[in-house]
């Protein structure tokens, strides 16, 4: 009733009360006229002797409200019922009008639907063989537990350790790292491997392709492929003895040993949270090259201009980019800024520094590029995009800080 009246405007409520009152008056008049028509005409009473009214017995007074109500006329009975009802409706309408809008019954919010999505899934290291899965959710409270499952051609594949296939949701995000189960089957290189995530109520995500990098022997370890064994040296075939004295064999020159290139070094930093090592400082599904574990130490080689990513060397001599949120950077660490910038606008990637040259690829807003050169005027930059394609883009598509622009060499 309150919700119904609260939706009505005050003029409408007053109009209803007036209309009901008019209907009541019409009913009363109709009843009175009906009674007047039924009453016989009064005859002139003949004069008689004076009557002493003091000697007549008095009528008994009504004993209670029921008797009083019974003695009322029909119109009086109707009035005695409608008047209190109208008074209550008027008071209720006044109260609802004076109430603040927020106190008139708050609408019940519609619960957010539960969804889960695997943002990326990748094999991040060969020893121990580990799969990293990042899950995004909606409609799940912090502390909810989500699970991940590896599929082979769409069928469950019990490769991951079952004790490591669940993670706790924090701010609509969960991440887990699962190693190979002791009795896991051997994957096959000609099969398709995907990962699905599930919410506590059974809601499942769409399958997401498992990234299996070919670098650092990760793919060989995942598919349990061993390196090809060296071929044996064929046995020498016996020949007849020479008739002349053998000459001294010429010395076989030995190849000079090739020097192993030295890996870059930098100040040390500790890993606070395990995560992915990426080829470039951007979160893409096919951009994972390795991984780091909490408690490990990495060497800081360079950083992006905004300091959100660091290029590191891991304890396994893997080199790539790690988000700063995974690291504990020393306050006195001196880390050079890398010539890596963000793309501010979509545009073509040209073969040369001219819009009339061949278009090789594109750069998209939000991607990153590595600067390798520039024109003397600084209006074009030679870059390598996230798809490892080198070319030229106009400077107005890139966000280049002044110190980075000054460090980029002029291309010949």
Under DSSP, the state recorded for 306 is T
* DSSP per residue, 4-31: HHHTS-HHHHHHHHHHHHHHHHHHHHHH
Residues 50-64, mean pLDDT to the nearest whole number? 61
Specify the CATH number of the domain 115-222.
Answer: 2.60.40
Q: Is residue 70 predicted with pLDDT exceeding 80?
A: no
Burial grade of 148 (CB within 10 A; 0-12, 13-18, 19 or more): buried
Q: Do the domains spanning 268-328 and 340-407 agree at the CATH topology level?
A: yes
Paired sense of beta strands 155-156 and 208-209, if any: unpaired
Contact at 8 Å (CB) between 298 and 268? yes
Share of the chain above pLDDT 90, in %: 34
Q: How far is CA 11 from CA 2, 16, 24, 103, 146, in A?
A: 17, 9, 20, 21, 56
- Alpha-helical regions (H) of 52-173: 65-71, 74-98
Domain boundaries, the chain: 2-36+65-103, 115-222, 268-328, 340-407
Share of the chain above pLDDT 70, in %: 75
Instruction: Tell me the pLDDT tens digit for each residue of 297-345.
Output: 999 999 988 888 999 999 998 999 999 989 999 888 889 989 999 898 8
Instruction: Tell me the pLDDT tens digit for each residue of 213-234.
Output: 765 577 888 888 874 444 444 4
Q: What is residue 3's predicted lDDT score, i.e. its pLDDT?
A: 53
Cis peptide, bond prior to residue 51, ω within 30 of zero: no
Cα–Cα distance measured from residue 118 to residue 157, given in angstroms and rounded to the nearest whole number = 17
CATH topology of domain 268-328: SH3 type barrels. (2.30.30)
Contact at 8 Å (CB) between 195 and 118? yes
Q: What is residue 246's predicted lDDT score, i.e. its pLDDT?
A: 47
Check: CATH 2.60.120.10 for 340-407? no
Cα–Cα distance measured from residue 92 to residue 98, given in angstroms and rounded to the nearest whole number = 10
Question: Who wins on pLDDT, 43 or 375?
Answer: 375
């Amino acid at each position: 009733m309150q919700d119904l009246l609260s939706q009505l405007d005050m003029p409408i409520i007053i109009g209803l009360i007036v209309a009901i009152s008019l209907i009541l008056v019409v009913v009363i008049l109709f009843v009175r006229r009906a009674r007047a028509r039924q009453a016989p005409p009064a005859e002139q009473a003949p004069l008689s002797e004076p009557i002493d009214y003091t000697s007549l017995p008095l009528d008994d007074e009504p004993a209670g409200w029921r008797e009083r109500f019974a003695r009322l006329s029909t119109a009086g009975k109707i009035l005695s019922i409608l008047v209190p009802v109208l008074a209550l409706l008027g008071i209720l309408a006044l109260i609802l009008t004076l109430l603040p809008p927020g106190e008139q019954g708050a609408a019940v919010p519609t619960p957010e639907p539960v969804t889960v999505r695997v943002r990326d899934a990748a094999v991040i290291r060969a020893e121990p063989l580990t799969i990293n899965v990042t899950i995004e959710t909606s409609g799940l409270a912090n502390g909810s537990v989500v699970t991940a499952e590896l599929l082979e051609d769409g069928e469950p594949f019990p490769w991951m350790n079952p004790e490591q296939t669940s993670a706790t949701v924090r701010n609509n995000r969960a991440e887990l790292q699962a190693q190979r189960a002791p009795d896991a089957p051997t994957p096959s290189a000609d099969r398709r491997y995907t990962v699905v995530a599930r919410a506590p109520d059974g809601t499942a995500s769409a399958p997401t392709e498992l990234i299996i990098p070919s670098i650092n022997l990760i793919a060989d370890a995942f598919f349990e492929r061993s390196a090809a064994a060296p071929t044996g040296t064929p046995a020498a075939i016996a020949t007849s003895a020479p008739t002349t004295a053998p000459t001294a064999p010429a010395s076989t020159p030995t190849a000079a040993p090739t020097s192993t290139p030295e890996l870059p070094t930098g100040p040390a930093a500790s890993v606070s949270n395990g995560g992915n090592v990426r080829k470039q400082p951007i979160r893409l599904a096919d951009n994972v090259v390795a991984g780091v574990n909490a408690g490990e130490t990495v060497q800081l080689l360079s950083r992006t201009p905004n300091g959100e990513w660091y290029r590191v060397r891991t304890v396994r001599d893997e080199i790539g980019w790690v988000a700063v949120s995974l690291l504990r950077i020393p306050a006195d660490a001196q880390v050079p800024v890398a010539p890596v910038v963000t793309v501010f606008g979509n545009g073509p990637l040209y073969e040369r520094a001219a819009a009339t040259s061949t278009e090789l690829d594109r750069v998209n807003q939000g991607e990153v590029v590595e600067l390798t050169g520039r024109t003397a005027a600084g209006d074009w930059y030679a870059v390598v995009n996230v798809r490892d394609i080198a070319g030229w883009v106009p400077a107005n598509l890139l966000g280049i800080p002044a110190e980075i622009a000054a460090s980029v060499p002029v291309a010949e």
